Structure 1
């Protein structure tokens, strides 16, 4: 049984009857949200060794959170469907029930570090990671009586167009910074260095595919799995795999170039700014470089402030690599805010 199926049964057979009987007319939303492979529908037998079991997200009015949480601790049965309803987790040694009771605003803030119950400023979008958004939008919602959670999930379905262009420009710019090094390191006999750069570029190209297909990228463990399910960009898996397996830098570089040109064609087909070719010679050295794709995307941004960000500090997960920072909504938001500076003026150029 998948974690989501277990959560649905736990809600329908145990938690919902108790809550509705105790608080008739209560506005709530219930589902399997937050962390865990089951939220992405990717759990299997290996997933059950920690933080897996009778888990559920129950969102109620803020003034009811403490009462509902404490009451469930008192009245929930000791087990459901062969597993305990109270257990410790990797983030808390306390043995207690696995129903995450919160308000919609509180739950969303705990994942994103911002209030997404209202429209977000551009700088707030750039402080999000794909994984943090997936923890809000990817899991199954069993019921949403109040409708507030559904509204938040619709708002987070994808970023605004200008922010999207900025993120794409930032990814292409980052690729441009290192693409020539695959050949340069290889030419000097540094095969390990060439492989390291190639691996970094493969990851960036995978993420570029997510951005172009308007899908939020998960954290590293599931990046390849969900990349294979992308509607268009998944076709780059074959050349990217060849790039990682190649024993010489020329084959390695050629495979990455093939993937980049494929994504550039998808970008053009989407109606986004594109050049004649994504890849151009890097000066006269005989290595591949990126053309003016980042600049074309940045120039298409209407908001002057967002256009400035795309030059070097786009989405925080494009330039921050510390896992503890990326997992901590408060730290992530502070780092992003510090890098982006004060909120610039909004609107198109006069």
Structure 2
């Protein structure tokens, strides 16, 4: 059983009953689910995942007023729930503290995005790393009668405002071209092998981010970004395979050919999405074209490399 299914079963058998018995007047005021850090929140967990911070658990989210009244008592009752469930036990690591349990809604979101609500301004959106937005919108909400937690989640899942998305796509065109199409083989020819390896990794990171942006999905942090590509309809499985091929190869020319193949596929997608009409095969030339489509004057005046 995957961790997400285990968590929901555990909540429905023990969590919901505990709330009904101990806090009956609040049972329709508490949201429950599993969202945040951990492979199980993405559905990516496997046997290796079970050695730390995996097992029967869930999150409970309360508004500020209710949290001040029953937060501590609810936490104590959560701690008293059975430690074993369906043959599984949660093994907590020193750094896994605070991933699950009882939370005030605003505090939960603030931990990931620095705000108790969805961003309201372009500046707020721009400063948020994709991985943190991914973490606080993954997983599953099991129960949320008040809807406050889910409303913030819905706003975040609506993805970046279009101008912010364009800022980021343009910047990724620039940096992916710089590291992959430009600096990779230059580093190889100089026998600067560390720089070449770094350029390859940077290209993969930026091109994955670009494809997530094209799909209007937040890219998870590095451990799961490549794995998550398979779920994307636009170029996802293609890019997943090509990056695997690149990582498996020890031939510099082969790696460079893959970089060019990936870049060409992304350029075709930029054309298909009507984000660029440039005929260039160099991704860097597409960055300013995408950037020019930004409507907000202040955002359009930003350096195309920054996003």
Give the unaligned 5+ runs of structure 1. 280-289, 315-350
Secondary structure at the residue paired with 1:24? helix
Between the aligned partners of 2:17 and 2:120, the Cα distance in structure 1 is: 36
Q: Is the 8 A contact 1:3 1:53 kept in 2?
A: yes
Aligned-residue Cα RMSD (Å) equals 2.5
Shift of 1:100: 2.1
Shift of 1:252: 2.5
1:57-105 per-residue CA deviation (whole Å, 9 max, x = no partner) reads 11112122252343441473443424568x7432377xxx985212222
Between the aligned partners of 2:72 and 2:9, the Cα distance in structure 1 is: 19
Q: Is the 8 A contact 2:144 2:150 kept in 1?
A: yes
What is the TM-score normalised by the length of structure 2? 0.87
State the match for 1:273 in structure 2.
276
Counting only pairs closer than 5 Å after superposition, residues 181-330 of structure 1 correspond to structure 2 as 181-191=183-193, 193-234=195-236, 235-279=238-282, 290-309=283-302, 311-314=304-307
Shift of 1:129: 2.2
Q: Is the 8 A contact 2:177 2:203 kept in 1?
A: no
Between the aligned partners of 1:175 and 1:74, the Cα distance in structure 2 is: 50
Between the aligned partners of 2:84 and 2:253, the Cα distance in structure 1 is: 57
Between the aligned partners of 1:14 and 1:245, the Cα distance in structure 2 is: 46
Between the aligned partners of 1:98 and 1:191, the Cα distance in structure 2 is: 39
1:303-345 per-residue CA deviation (whole Å, 9 max, x = no partner) reads 122223452321xxxxxxxxxxxxxxxxxxxxxxxxxxxxxxx
Compared CA separation, residues 205 and 92, structure 1 to 2 (3 A): closer
Q: Specify which structure has the higher proportion of strand.
A: 1
Between the aligned partners of 2:77 and 2:234, the Cα distance in structure 1 is: 50
What is the TM-score normalised by the length of structure 1? 0.77
Q: After the TM superposition, which of the residue ranges 178-187 and 69-78 deviates more from structure 2?
A: 69-78
Between the aligned partners of 2:88 and 2:241, the Cα distance in structure 1 is: 42
Q: Is the 8 A contact 1:210 1:217 kept in 2?
A: yes
Q: After the TM superposition, which of the residue ranges 137-146 and 71-80 deviates more from structure 2?
A: 71-80
State the match for 1:18 in structure 2.
18
State the match for 1:102 in structure 2.
103
Q: Is the 8 A contact 1:27 1:145 kept in 2?
A: yes
